[in-house]
Amino acid sequence: MSKRVLQFFGLAVMAMVAAGSFAPRATAADGDFRVTLLGTGTPVPSPERFGPSTLVEAGDQKLVFDFGRGVTIRLAQLKIPFGKIDAHFLTHFHSDHLNGLPDLWLTGWLRPPYAQRSKPMTIYGPPGLAKLTKGLTEAFSRDLEIRGEDEKNPPAGIAFDVHEVKPGPVYEKDGLKVTAFQNDHGELVTPSYGYKIEYRGHSVVLSGDTRYSAEVVKQATGADLLVHCVTVIPDELMKKFPVYERILKHLSSPEVAGKVFSEAKPKLAVYSHIGLNGGATPADLIARTRKVYDGPLEVGRDLMTITIADKPTAAMRN
């Protein structure tokens, strides 16, 4: 067999493998409601914990909340084409929640099976979102021109459908409802939202980045699932690097998060946006939380999926 034929055969096999690897997985069955932690990290560059991002699936709808570093990689691991996301939601404008957005937006416009967005990218978030998306469009204008002309990618697929929202109901479709609410990420970090997602008599609350917030407690009271941020910063680290004191003032320690869990009493509490600093471990995180909260608790990991039912269950997703 000639070298040229072998090369052609190899390329053909690679194409078939690529297409097969993104063959659509079975969607959530009608009535299924599940949450997958795409990224459970912070600004810390980590191969184990990618930037903050959460996938919510309700029936055949797929929603993504926040776009931390690596969001496209985690979606690819789940074999979810980026063009199949129904709506996207931003909590606030800190870079660790945003640096994966250009990748998801631009890569989602491509034509291979992992992308294929052919309609505008629907995105909801606080006021200021239109300025952000306009800036991205300008920043990548040359790439958009080249790919539009060269690859004939559909113009609609690279457009943004922007919805700047205030606290209150922001999305409702086929029994799925999303409500934005104001959390407390510090005096300067405003607006900053959490989101409550309701579907077929069940509810999930994503706290967003927040210190203690009575509004988070209110929204999460009786919820099936509360996903909450947490940060562990040992005292000696704060003494060595005073900036950590300012960081902790904007976020929740395990004791603060545990207080929220104790007051809201969700059926399951799960940590995400997990800051383990100065050698802190998940065991430290759990021990400190247990000082004030003795209910159901999971320390989130990337690709952990929580199935929402009368008794929520968490498992790693393959």
**Taking the alpha carbons of 87, 91, 92, 98 in that order, is the dihedral positive or negative?**
negative
Residue type, 242: P
- The edge-to-edge listing of strands for the beta sheet with 168-173 is 168-173, 176-182, 193-199, 202-206, 225-232, 268-276, 297-299
CA–CA distance, 100 with 70 (Å, rounded to integer): 6
Catalytic residues: 96
Q: 3-class SS at 76?
A: helix
Residues forming a β-bridge with 202:
199
DSSP notation for 105-119: HHHTTSSSTT----S
Identify whether 126 is preceded by a cis peptide bond (ω within 30 of 0): no
